[in-house]
Structure 1
Amino acid sequence: MPKINGNEIRPGNVLEHNGGLWVAVKADHVKPGKGGAFAQVEMRNLRNGSKLNERFRSADKIERVRLEQRDQQFLYENDGMLVFMDQDTFEQIELPADILGERRPFLQDGMTIEIEYYESEALNARLPQKVTCKVAETEPVVKGQTAANSFKPAVLDNGVKVMVPPFVGPEEDIVINTETMEYAERA
């Protein structure tokens, strides 16, 4: 595995630190008035979700881990476990439903998602960046409301509340960005 300097850590990097696998959530580079520069890195454990704040100097060497990404199709949910199938080998795996966190409602039947593996252990799951959803309820369209940045609340068919532009009405399909959990465009 390649080793990187402490000042090369970027958000999204997966690191082996203190015997565990950690993903860098935030990395702030600090140059204090006295002493050497360092990177203040907020990390999340990929196995148990715990968080850790750590300082790395540029001279520190950290193992950077490369995860293997495989596209897998979502089949069904069973007792809080999500069942996915590898589209090449047809092998099925089960992952806990909380692996997707607050993005869980955007998972749809038959959707292909990216699952990241370390050796043979599934550690992370990533939804497609854009997902099409139907607006279940929102205020009616108001003619002539053309304010540049005005948004109104809407509830999607999966129960998630988002802000949408004033021209979007009920029963319309819209595209949601799953990374920011915001309205992206009309479908």
Structure 2
Amino acid sequence: MKMYCSNNFRIGCKIIFEKEPCLIESSEFVNPGKGQAFVRVKIRKLLTQQLIDKTFKSTDYLEIADVKEYVLSYLYNDGYFWYFINNNSFEELSVEKKIIGVNKKWLLAQDTCTITLWNNEPIAVMPNNFVNIKVISVEKSLKGNTVNVRNTKLATLITGAIVKVPLFIQTGSLIKIDTRSGQYISRVK
């Protein structure tokens, strides 16, 4: 079992904390004039996305997490599992519906995404930050209704997601979406 000394904590290190894999998001080594040196870190739990502020003594050790990230292509789903393929080795990976979570509305066939594995088990699926998705229906809007405070309408995308779009977007349009916020970015020509 490999260990990290708290003096070696760096941003991006993956550790086991409270029996869960975590990512160190910030680390500050403090050496006060009196007393023992310590390390102040912000840790993100990879399973729950909870952010924790924690202070460790300079003599503390934590286990290195066996966390790996792979960029895989999304193939299809059967309602219970989502299937991905490694384009280099052609190995398939299936991921449960509960792990996909809300990200399922941003997954399109043949798109790549980042899959995080802990002890060779999937724990998270992150789609690309921006995706181009086709609009299959839009809310009706009155022509010339630009004076109204609401200059957007709701659009349903091919994946089932519903987003706010400008009034000029029509059924069949291809639009760019920021998957982190779920917001419309632009129309794709």
Alignment gaps of 5+ in structure 1? 30-36
* SS across alignment from 1:110: coil
Report if aligned partners of 1:13, 1:23 keep a CA contact under 8 Å in 2.
yes
Contact 1:73 1:87 in 2 (8 A): yes
**1:163 and 1:73, CA in 2 relative to 1: closer, same or farther beyond 3 A?**
same
1:142/1:167 contact within 8 Å kept? no
1:106 lines up with 2:102 in the alignment: no
The equivalent of 1:161 in structure 2 is: 162
Cα gap change, 1:141/1:120 in structure 2, threshold over 3 Å: closer, same or farther? Answer: same
Residue type of the alignment partner of 2:187:
R
**What is the aligned residue count?**
178
Question: 2:19 aligns to what?
Answer: 19
Runs of 5+ consecutive residues of structure 2 not aligned to the other structure: 29-37
Shift of 1:58: 7.2
Residue 128 of structure 1 aligns with which residue? 128
Distance 2:159 2:101 in 1: 15
Question: Larger Cα Rg: Structure 1 or Structure 2?
Answer: 2
Name the CA distance, whole Å, in 1 between partners of 2:151 and 2:92: 45
What is the CA deviation profile of residues 38-95 of structure 1, one whole-angstrom value per residue up to 9, with x for unaligned ones? 969575452xx49585643575665564743222122221350111111111111111
Q: Distance in 2 between matches of 1:20 and 1:119?
A: 11
CA contact (8 A) 1:162 1:182 kept: yes
Kindly indicate whether residue 81 of structure 2 is the aligned counterpart of residue 81 of structure 1.
yes
In the alignment, which residue of structure 1 is the partner of 2:95? 95
C-alpha change, 1:68 and 1:141, in structure 2 (3 Å) is: farther
Q: TM-score, normalised by structure 2?
A: 0.69
Question: 2:68: which partner in 1?
Answer: 68
In percent, how many aligned pairs have the same letter?
18
- Encode CA deviations 1:121-149: one digit per residue, 9 max, x unaligned: 33322111111122222234744837898
* Residue pair 2:72, 2:112 contacting (<8 A) in 1 also: yes
**Secondary structure, counterpart of 1:117 in structure 2:** strand
CA contact (8 A) 2:107 2:159 kept: no
Which amino acid in the other structure matches residue 15 of structure 1? I
Query: Where do residues 45-64 of structure 1 align in structure 2 (5 Å cutoff)?
Result: 46=47, 49=48, 55-56=54-55
Q: Secondary structure at the match of 1:56?
A: strand
